[in-house]
Amino acid sequence: ESRYNPTAIEEKWQKTWDEQGLDKTPTEKDKPKFYALSMFPYPSGNLHMGHVRNYTITDVIARVHRMQGYRVLHPMGWDAFGLPAENAAIKKGIHPAKWTYSNIDQMRSELKRLGLSYDWDCELATCSPDYYKWTQWIFLQFFQAGLAYQKEAAVNWDPIDQTVLANEQVDSEGRSWRSGAIVEKKKLRQWFLKITDYAEQLLQDLDKLPGWPDRVKSMQANWIGKSVGAYLEFPIVGMDEKIGVFTTRPDTVYGVSYVVLAPEHPLTPKVTTSENKETVESFIKEVANQSELERTAEDKPKRGIPTGGKAINPFTGEEIPIWIADYVLYEYGTGAVMGVPAHDARDFKFANEQNLPIKVVIVRADAADEPPILKEAYTEPGIVINSDLFNGMESTTAKEEIIKYAEKQGFGKARVQYRLRDWLISRQRYWGAPIPVIHCPKCGIVPVPEAELPIVLPENVEFSGRGPSPLAQLGEWVNVPCPSCGTAAKRETDTMDTFIDSSWYYLRFTDANNENQVFDSAKTNDWMPVDQYVGGVEHAILHLLYSRFFTKVLRDRRILNFDEPFNRLLTQGMVQGLTYTNPKKSGNAKYIPSALVNPNDPKDPETGEPLELSYQTMSKSKYNGVAPEDVINKYGADTARMFILFKAPPEKDLEWDDADVEGQFRFLNRVWLLVTEYSETTPAKTQKGELTKAEKDLRRAIHTAIDEISKDLAGDYQLNTAVSEMMKLSNALKDSTCKNSAVYTEGIETLILLLAPFAPHIAEELWQMIGNKKSVHQETWPKLDESALEVDEITLVIQINGKTRGTIQAPANLDKPGLEKYARESDAAKRYLEEGKEPKKVIVVPGKLVNFVI
Ligand code: ANZ
Ligand code: ZN
């Protein structure tokens, strides 16, 4: 009898499966398709437990679908462009490509040890010219569709290194990571994608995604931020210009006491009177250095100053002052608002601070006669007062009527506004896909002809972290003739945001090695949409929204024929580790490495102070991580997988616990023992005659497991309860008293088949051990026999006047009269029921009890 040796069998089977090509994507379309996808990783160096969890969940889903008769696409690749590689180049002088590819090699080998059933033929890395050629091609599709354009936008500027910084390169104090200089905002021409053109579709189509978590959908909806209201124009006194405002409350327009412009608004200098010029200019400068968050924070006082200019409320003809204030954002709506202190909380605060008039125009329906003195803004709907033509209307009706009136008079119209802004995609960095356009002094922006793609990143580049981006410093690369007229022209030196790379990789996976096309639409339309996408909730907004946007644009270019890329989405929870903290210390110093702590008496090794214990998301800085490699070396990948699947439902956070890992290892050892013992006997292969009670009970346990686990795997993926069902079946087999029966064989085989997607190596080893030649992963999922679930006897309680007087075993298939008859025959009933005398009443609860009232 052999011992369970995970290392030996895992290596063996990984090699064999690879040779057999077990996980290759089928090309025939003889079965329904299933596309299982994990969010591909950034190759940072090593795999962490979060990766292991994500990929194990998807792997179980892929494997189960193969067994259930689907053709499965289950690919893996690398989100390989981005800042860390370039930072490594600046700090350590390693070329970003070298750093990236060596990390990929490391992580690929770790992935392979987990027994994940990927088709490695589809592997892709977004930093490879084979891939980014098509990223550039897609950019040109957007450009041709009028969805890529340039405009000025603010960037982080390091005045010492004279370079643009990514947000990640600016610390919490606003200093450059490299030079330590205070980072400034500088305006540069930048590339944008017009995602706002798709705002309404991106919002509406969330309804087409019932398989997405509601939380993710509402995060996307909030990000898109649709508001319905009106655009109204306020003429400026003494000028031939108007201030356009966006308002969601046109019903309050008779209560406007001032108009506020964002300080950056182009009308600000025009409306400012000479007395106010100085104060206005210094206010603008102050606000320029605040972040949007600071400007809009609820708890912060709203700051603003008058410009001296005046506007006219077109409804009342009244003159009102024009102010500027920090809480009005230039990028939203029109960058100007009408101030209605009586009905908007922010305006109420502002008006009180600045002593501006407050005019009530909406009142609660039951208080319409007595205009109140406000202690706070009244923001609810109500009845309109002080509003001329509209007095007495419901405010909701007034909204529409006031818009109609404004339209008729020519000073406004209905307007829908979205919070979503266009996507700034250009980066002044090296390690990204170059934007494939050329700037010609005669022709303007000229797209690089398709035949010249990819625009390859030049290799001999210096990474100093100073000055313009490495590409912009490379004269021989930058200076090229215009493809259209031949004039000396310049290449675009910005590269694309890495979110672009990840917005379409799932499409490329369906035809990853196509050298002639971005992908063959027929193949992509066949495999897409992804049937199950699994990844971190940190991507709930940007990555998922951008991918949806790309899909819709390519659909409109007739390259794709579907609306949404990801049918179902599972956002897995975090993996948390036991964390020791010293509450007397602050910052990262408060985290104490567990290696230095005695778990029975946790104290700070430096100070002797007692430590606090908690579970927190594993991270390097908290010293609470567990390396996947260590767990695999000690217990094998199957145990690591089983533990991760068993410990928590996939969407919930998971607390790493060595004792529970050990527990799963013991479970696999018990299965090993059961099957090896079985393999040494010669049990019956076919059933002769009627089943005994023991056999019936075991069959019920077997088919209950099939039933429960199949349900757990049908859509909601309750993988943790699936594992506990397997443990139940294993116990039933162990305790069974019919180990020579064919039913026992059925039980052993079923257990191995159910286990196969979860612990693929041990399942394969045991499957072969009991005499199979075909891989367990090519077998079909066990079929449920409903009749095996039937119980043939029940325990029936006999009651007399509601008191239990005994129990009997009764056939399960009896109806109410049958049960009553059966109960009358019981000893207990006979004892209490006088012969020949009928009880007053008999109450039968099927499956439970019979109560005789006498
Ligand atoms: C007058 C008014 C009266 C407003 C009232 C509200 C209540 P959402 O729902 O977020 O779209 N607003 C418009 N543009 C703005 C900007 N660029 N910066 C800051 N605030 C802006 O909010 C729309 C409301 O936010 C608009 O409706 C406007 O204030 C303000 F009783 O107009 B309201
Ligand atoms: Zn030209």
Q: Are 744 and 733 in contact (CB under 8 A)?
A: yes
Among 419, 268, 394, smallest CA distance to 333 is for 419
Strand 654-655 with 575-581, pairing: parallel
CA of 146 to the centre of ligand 2 (A): 19
**Quick one: tokens of 679?**
């393999």
Ligand 1, closest atom to CA 327?
Answer: 19
- pLDDT-derived band at 372 (thresholds 50, 70, 90) equals low
Whether the pLDDT of residue 798 is over 90: the answer is yes
pLDDT at 207: 98
Whether the pLDDT of residue 785 is over 70: the answer is yes
Q: What angle do CA 261, 263, 266 make, to 5 degrees?
A: 75
The preferred substitution site among 247, 268, 323, 348 for testing ligand 1, maximizing ligand atoms within 8 Å of CB, is 247
Domain boundaries, the chain: 31-125+499-572, 226-418, 575-646, 673-789, 793-853
When pLDDT is averaged across residues 797-811 and rounded to a whole number, the result is 92
What's the CATH architecture for 226-418? Alpha-Beta Complex (3.90)
Tell me the ligand closest to 264's alpha carbon: 1
Longest pairwise C-alpha distance within the chain? 117
Among 613, 820, 792, smallest CA distance to 697 is for 792
Residue 401's Cα: distance from chain center in Å?
42
**Quick one: tokens of 812?**
């399960």
**Poorest-confidence range of 68-72, 438-442, 536-540, 724-728?**
536-540
How many Cα atoms sit within 13 Å of 231 on the Cβ side?
A: 13
The preferred substitution site among 249, 323, 326, 350 for testing ligand 1, maximizing ligand atoms within 8 Å of CB, is 249
- Nearest-CA residue for ligand 1 atom 18 is 328
Strand 33-38 with 532-536, pairing: parallel
pLDDT at 88: 92
Q: Which numeric CATH code is attached to 793-853?
A: 3.10.20.590
In the chain, the amino acid numbered 796 is L
Number of Cβ within a 10 Å radius of residue 591: 20
Whether the pLDDT of residue 558 is over 60: the answer is yes
How high is the ipTM of this complex? 0.96
In the chain, the amino acid numbered 458 is P
Tell me the ligand closest to 417's alpha carbon: 1
In the sheet that holds 423-424, the strands lie side by side as 163-165, 148-158, 184-193, 423-424
CA of 246 to the centre of ligand 1 (A): 7
Would you mind telling me the total number of residues written for the chain in this entry? Answer: 854
Tell me the ligand closest to 441's alpha carbon: 2
* Distance of alpha carbon 167 from alpha carbon 158, whole angstroms: 12
pLDDT tens-digit readout, 263-312: 999 999 999 999 999 999 999 998 887 777 777 777 777 789 999 999 99
* Distance of alpha carbon 347 from alpha carbon 691, whole angstroms: 81
Which residues is 246 bridged to in the sheet?
231
Whether the pLDDT of residue 370 is over 70: the answer is no
pLDDT tens-digit readout, 818-842: 999 999 998 888 888 877 778 999 9
CB under 6 Å to ligand 1: residues?
Answer: 227, 246-249, 252, 327-329, 332-333, 335, 337-338, 340, 343-344, 417
In the chain, the amino acid numbered 422 is D
pLDDT at 517: 97
Tell me the ligand closest to 246's alpha carbon: 1
pLDDT at 813: 85
Residues 6+ apart with CB under 8 A from 163: 157, 428, 465, 466, 467, 468, 469
Task: Report cis status (omega within 30 of 0) of the bond before 602.
Answer: no
* Distance of alpha carbon 131 from alpha carbon 522, whole angstroms: 19
pLDDT at 290: 77
Burial of 255 (0-12, 13-18, 19+ CB in 10 A): buried
Ligand 1, closest atom to CA 296?
Answer: 19
Whether the pLDDT of residue 680 is over 80: the answer is yes
Among 680, 112, 187, 157, smallest CA distance to 469 is for 157
Q: Are 213 and 569 in contact (CB under 8 A)?
A: yes
Number of Cβ within a 10 Å radius of residue 493: 21
620 is in an annotated binding site: yes
Choose between 374 and 668: higher pLDDT. 668
CA of 443 to the centre of ligand 2 (A): 4
**CATH superfamily of domain region 673-789:** Isoleucyl-tRNA Synthetase; Domain 1 (1.10.730.10)
* Distance of alpha carbon 413 from alpha carbon 406, whole angstroms: 6
CA of 137 to the centre of ligand 2 (A): 20
Three-class SS string for 767-824?
HHHCCCCCCHHHCCCCCCCHHHHCCCEEEEEEEECCEEEEEEEEECCCCHHHHHHHHH
Q: How far is CA 661 from CA 9, 61, 407, 555, 580, in A?
A: 19, 22, 69, 46, 20
Whether the pLDDT of residue 10 is over 90: the answer is yes
Among 513, 253, 207, smallest CA distance to 405 is for 253
Residue 553's Cα: distance from chain center in Å?
21
* Distance of alpha carbon 745 from alpha carbon 675, whole angstroms: 10
Q: Where do runs of H (alpha helix) occur along 342-474? A: 345-354, 395-409
Task: Report cis status (omega within 30 of 0) of the bond before 269.
Answer: no
Q: What angle do CA 621, 626, 632 make, to 5 degrees?
A: 150
Three-class SS string for 41-65?
CCCCCCCCHHHHHHHHHHHHHHHHH
- Nearest-CA residue for ligand 1 atom 22 is 248
Which residues is 170 bridged to in the sheet?
176
**Poorest-confidence range of 58-62, 94-98, 138-142, 622-626?**
622-626
- Nearest-CA residue for ligand 1 atom 5 is 344
Among 562, 561, 566, smallest CA distance to 539 is for 566
Among 112, 247, 99, 252, smallest CA distance to 629 is for 112
Among 377, 327, 341, 374, smallest CA distance to 255 is for 341
Ligand 1, closest atom to CA 377?
Answer: 31
Which residues is 495 bridged to in the sheet?
427, 434
Ligand 1, closest atom to CA 335?
Answer: 17
Whether the pLDDT of residue 1 is over 60: the answer is no
CA of 280 to the centre of ligand 1 (A): 23
CA of 186 to the centre of ligand 2 (A): 29
pLDDT tens-digit readout, 312-342: 999 999 999 999 999 999 989 999 999 999 9
* Distance of alpha carbon 404 from alpha carbon 401, whole angstroms: 5
Name the helix (H) or strand (E) containing 112.
helix 96-113
- pLDDT-derived band at 234 (thresholds 50, 70, 90) equals very high
Over the chain, what is the mean pLDDT? Answer: 94
Among 499, 432, 502, 438, smallest CA distance to 469 is for 432
Helices and strands, counts by H and E, the chain: 27, 31
Tell me the ligand closest to 358's alpha carbon: 1
CA of 484 to the centre of ligand 1 (A): 47
Which residues is 773 bridged to in the sheet?
none
CA of 73 to the centre of ligand 2 (A): 45
* Distance of alpha carbon 177 from alpha carbon 370, whole angstroms: 61
Among 247, 214, 210, smallest CA distance to 232 is for 247
pLDDT at 297: 76
When pLDDT is averaged across residues 7-17 and rounded to a whole number, the result is 97
CA of 420 to the centre of ligand 1 (A): 15
pTM: 0.90
SS3 content of the chain, % helix, strand, coil (to 5): 40, 20, 40
pLDDT tens-digit readout, 480-515: 999 999 999 999 999 999 999 999 999 999 999 999
CATH 3.40.50.620 for the 31-125+499-572 domain, yes or no: yes
The preferred substitution site among 224, 315, 324, 337 for testing ligand 1, maximizing ligand atoms within 8 Å of CB, is 337
